[in-house]
Amino acid sequence: MKKFLIVGLGNIGEKYTHTRHNIGFKILDALAEKEDLKFETQKLGDVTVYKLKGRQLILLKPSTYMNLSGKAVQYWLGKEKIPLENLLVITDDLNLPFGTLRLKRKGSDGGHNGLKDIQDKLQTITYNRFRFGISNSFNKGRQVDYVLSEWSHEENEKLNERLEKSIQLVKSFALAGVSNTMNAFNGK
């Protein structure tokens, strides 16, 4: 059975649950709820397994806080013997308009500390990342406050549809591969 590690980035704790920075957790929670999966607290994160048409998707929400996500990613890749090309990291992106989906095979951390730590631990910038646009509607110097704030009323109204599209992207990544998924979902 082909294995994948799907990592949703976020911060643990109730005060972060509904923040923009926790979209990685939120997407995995939406997928787990839709497929009736339950997360269990294990080493370095909450984990559940989703079986999809002969594939095994290990869903991971690291418990290391955003800026130390690399330790959990590295551990679970090794523990489950998952090749790097079967890793998908889900994160927020300030440089994309709200709800925009973008899948890339490689790239810089874009100033995102979670991606920076993953890059440091894996010693590569070549791993799949799914960026969910949260826009950059904040005043100069207020970036941290913005990413750690909750979704606006308007964003919340559109979020369920965007979460459903995100779930479809994750499934497509495992079933159709990264290139086909990029063509089908990027910018949508």
If phi over 0 gives left and psi between -120 and 50 gives alpha, with beta otherwise, what is residue 48? beta
What is the rounded CA–CA span in Å between residue 105 and residue 128?
4
What is the rounded CA–CA span in Å between residue 186 and residue 131?
10
Residue 21 annotated as catalytic: yes
Q: Where are the alpha helices (DSSP H) in 39-150?
A: 69-80, 113-122, 143-147
In the chain the first and final C-alpha atoms are separated, in Å, by 30
- Active-site residue identified among 18, 21, 112, 153: 21
The set of catalytic residues is 21
